[in-house]
Structure 1
Amino acid sequence: MPADTPTVLATSGGLREGLRTRWEFSPLTDLAIDLAGVTGRAPRICFVATAQGDNPSSIHGLYDAAQVRGFTASHLSLVPMPNVDDVEGHLLGQDVVWVCGGSVAALLALWRLHGVDHAMRAAWAAGVVLTGVSAGSICWHTGGTTDSFGPELRPVTDGLALLPFSNGVHYDSETQRRPLFQRLIGERALDAGYATDDGVGLLYRGTKFVEAVGEKDSAGAYFVAADGQGGVTETRLDVRQL
């Protein structure tokens, strides 16, 4: 069952250490499932671990987390070859697509090589809820900051641009993130955008920001825009606790 409008929940969270499994889903992923509006059957969730090189261990851990919650899980992998014949059809058959963190630069390159960028746009337009963490948050935006190229963060400016904003992740937990995000926006290398501390997500309906939501007390969300004088303004947003 699709959401009633294109929906993205872009997060710095959604997953935590499990009690009996490696991971379990946390309230941000629960919200993504709720947004899909599934009734009468198990929610269908597809994991995409491109940013981790389709690491089998990561995919296995996500399947375990889905089993604990009673979700019907599948995954899309691209290495060494796509594991499904019809990528777009597979994504359109999901309620939620959950994208892992890792190298957003590699993710974007491989998605474009295999047409996953177009398939994701089709799924988004059809109301499949798109969510994920870190690289799985930045990818839906026009760009952001990334460690894809090494320990010194650099900009990535070729996101899918489903959303007309840049995106900053791990804003409170990685010291390079906040100053670089602000500098790049001040220099107009990145578009104005939204940033999240760990444990916070950004809900968009269509191309409009709706609200910030949190699974961790005191964690924040922010809107950063150029001030026209080479600097920026950073506005802390209200965060609805889940």
Structure 2
Amino acid sequence: MLKHRFPVIVRDSMVATIHFLKSLNTYGADPAWVVVCGDSAGEGVATIVCQNLVDSSDLPKIRAQILIYAALQALDFQPPSYQQNKDVPLLRQNLAFYRWCGYLDISPSWKSTVLKRAHLPAKVWEKYRKWLGSENIPEKFKKRGYMPQEPLNETAYLETNIIRDLTNSPLVADDVVVSQLPKACIVSCEYGILQDHSLLYKKRLEDLGVPVTWHHMEDGFHGVLVTLDLGCLYLPCSTRVLNAVVHFIKEL
């Protein structure tokens, strides 16, 4: 992350995807069966790729998107799942924050300001509330209260304003873009700080008529899929995630 900052990862992924779509015959791939998949930050990139290609009439359409414990917005570090799961491995709140700073080249000194939601003005929060507000998350996923929003820190706002770029927060893309996305398979984990990203994006897709298959792992945590081949550290939840994805693909 520190070596390759924004927007290198997204740019390279777009170039690779477009090259692949233009070379399907070379790879023996059926143009009607291209599926984009990712997990965590990779899932966020997969979402951005799908969004950027919705109007590309000269390329084969993406058949489906598979989004595993999504990283879909860089605006808010205090939704319910962040507060409830901030100390749960493998992705603790501190680690997520410092990766965010490294990728976007933002000073970590703004941590307390960002965690108090004082890095964006009230008008920005209000603009995105219809998509990011905790009222969009089912009550069963909200177990504790929320931190109050503090007055805007103008300096923090100027330095962190890059987070409003849709390349960093595809969850708040325009309706006209999200409504054209392919059907989705979304996997969320009860004990992951990014759980709410998945829940909020699921709602957005469904509200706009995009078919969604949702799997919620009640014993899952962020990164659980990596335990699939870790021997004695293997957790059955990782197999259920994999099986859910395979079943989705088979049912396309």
Flag the structure with higher helix content. Answer: 2
Q: Normalising by structure 2, what TM-score?
A: 0.31
Query: Larger strand proportion, structure 1 or 2?
Result: 1
TM-score normalised to structure 1 length: 0.31
